Every structure is written in structure tokens, then in C-alpha cells.
Amino acid sequence: MSVRLILIVLCIAIVAGLWQNVWLVRERRELRHELATMRGEPPLESEEENPPTAREIEKLTRALHEETALLQAAQATIIAAEKATPRVEDEELRSLGYVEQMGREAAEFLPQLVEVATLMKGGQFSKLSEAEQSRLAAKMMAWVNRVSALGDLEEDAPKIARFHATSLRERLHLDDVATEQVRRQAEREFAHLKAQGLARPQRPENDREEWYRRRKLALDEATARIEALIPASQRQPYAVGQSLHLGTGLRTSSQMKADGHGSVSMSLDLPGFDR
């Protein structure tokens, strides 16, 4: 699910919840009038004579209009950000040159992801300027689609190996000899991963938790073997694991409650991050 769709679904859920509250208040008032009529009781006070109910409806209606305006503003912002972000087409990603370019970009993106996660965990992200928040959000949005396309590359062990080797070379400043050793080992690891049914394109539609568990175990073992090929002075905590796990590293989930309110969340399942 793209970030644009996540935000739109979230805003629609909020608006729907507010509208449901307005509807319930009005429905309750009408039922009270009908009950009074059936009992032969005097008519209830009008809306103007019942300030608490009138104020409640007015407050909910105002909040509804505000959330609708926020939804429209969010949609406009996302559209503008998408126009400024180059689209990633599958045929481009599958070309050898673009795979290596993606590797270089991933070497820059993953440390930034660490930074964003640290800021959010410490409650500091909201204190950034709007421009900085927008810049980081645009980076994240671009990589939501890229991670999905990257996962598809796990079908082809030589290509996904070139991606990881390029990314680790840039991030850890590896020389040509070490980079080639990493590439060869990564190719063996992803060929073995596919043979076990654990490559990203082989992910089941349902009951994924066991599949994720087996995949994580296999990639953790692959991480140890690849990391052993990197000079100790150039290793960084979690760098190899974050690269190998990236194909399924960004996950989204949505939940709709009975009261009409919903939530959508994005989680990181990468080494060094809390889910």
C-alpha cells in the first residue's frame, strides 16, 4: 500500500467517524421527539431551546468540516510530492544499471531511515521544520514503492546480489575485492533462499507469520556469513542485515473499529529497529 493511499484511507476513516457521530446525535434527538409523541407528552424543546444538543451538533459539524479540509489539503500535498518524486518503473528497475543505482541510493536511504526512526522514537520528529518533515516524508514515500519492486528482484539471485553488493560497498566503503566476495556470497544466499520458498515473490497470501519467521532466520544466518567477508574495521552494526532484509522491511497494516474510526500504521521489520 502506498503512503498516499495510507493517508487518504486514514483521513477518510476520521471523516467517516465524525460524520457518524453527527448522525447519531441527530438520530437520538429525532427518536426522543417520536417517543414523546407516542406517550402523549408535550413536545420536546426545539434545537434552539436545547443548547447542549445544539452545541454538540455544531461542534461535531465544525470538526467534520475541518477534517474534510485537512483531507483535501493532504491529498494536494501528496500529489505535489509525487510529481516531484521520479516514478520507478519495473522495466527500469530490472535493468542492470538501474539495479546498481538503486544500490547506491539504498546506501544513502538506510542511514536516513535510522535517523528518522530514532527521531520518532524519541518524540523529536514533530519538532523538525515543516520543510524537513516534508523532505523526509517524500524520501519514505518514494521507497515504499521501491521496496516492493526490490522484493520482486529476489526472483533473480544474480541481480539482487548486485544490488546488495553495491549498497554495502557504498555504505561500508568496500574495495573491489571485498565487494566481489560479498556479491558472490549474496548470490548463493538468495539462490538458497528461493530454493526454500522464502524469496519475496514466494510470500503467501495468508498466514504469513510463520513464513516471515523462517525468512528472518534464513536471512540472519546469511547476514553472518556475508559479514564475515567484510574487514572488521569496516563493519557497522546491522548494516548487512538491514540491506538483506529490505525486501520485506517496510510493512503496513490497517484496522477499522466498530465505531467507524480507523487507523493505518507502517512498521519497520529491519535489524536494529523495534517493530
Q: How many helices (H) and strands (E) does the chain have?
A: 9, 2
Q: Average of pLDDT values for 37-51? A: 55
Residues near 19 by beta carbon (within 8 Å), at least 6 away in sequence: 64
Question: Is residue 119's pLDDT more than 70?
Answer: yes
Q: Any long-range contacts for 15-22 (C-beta under 8 Å, 24+ apart)?
A: 15/64, 15/67, 15/68, 15/71, 16/260, 16/262, 17/259, 17/260, 17/261, 17/262, 18/60, 18/63, 18/64, 18/67, 19/64, 20/259, 20/260, 21/60, 22/57, 22/60, 22/61, 22/64
Dihedral over Cα of 96, 90, 252, 216: its sign:
negative
Highest mean pLDDT among 14-23, 60-69, 153-162: 153-162
The residue with greater pLDDT, 61 or 186, is: 186
Helices 130-152 and 51-84: angle between axes, nearest 10 degrees = 60
Amino acid identity, residue 100? E
Highest mean pLDDT among 70-84, 125-139, 191-205: 191-205
Q: Determine which of 81-95, 107-121, 146-160 has the lowest per-residue pLDDT on average.
A: 81-95
Q: What is the pLDDT of residue 31?
A: 65
Q: What are the cell numbers at 144?
A: 515504499
Q: Average of pLDDT values for 75-91? A: 54
Residues linked to residue 253 through DSSP beta bridges, in sequence order? 265
Question: Is residue 117's pLDDT more than 60?
Answer: yes
Cβ neighbour number for residue 219 with a 10 Å cutoff: 21
Q: What is the pLDDT of residue 47?
A: 45
Q: What are the cell numbers at 166?
A: 553495491
d(CA 161, CA 99): 10
Question: Is residue 257's pLDDT more than 70?
Answer: no
Question: Is residue 51's pLDDT more than 70?
Answer: no
Q: What are the cell numbers at 43?
A: 413536545
Per-residue pLDDT tens digits for 93-116? 444 458 888 889 888 888 877 777
Question: Is residue 87's pLDDT more than 60?
Answer: no
Continuous segment of H or E residues that includes residue 251: strand 250-256
pTM (global) more than 0.85: no
Look over the chain and give the mean of its residue pLDDT values, rounded to a whole number. 75
Q: Average of pLDDT values for 31-47? A: 59
Give the residue from 146, 165, 155 showing the smallest Cα distance to 104: 165
- Tell me, rounded to whole angstroms, the distance of Cα 150 from its chain centroid: 15
The answer to whether residues 248 and 151 touch, using CB atoms and an 8 Å cutoff, is yes
pLDDT class for 54, splitting at 50, 70, 90? low
Q: What is the pLDDT of residue 263?
A: 58
Question: Is residue 16's pLDDT more than 70?
Answer: no
Q: Which residue has the cell 556475508?
A: 226
Residues near 263 by beta carbon (within 8 Å), at least 6 away in sequence: 10, 13, 254, 255
Q: What is the DSSP letter of 86?
A: P
Q: What is the pLDDT of residue 22?
A: 54
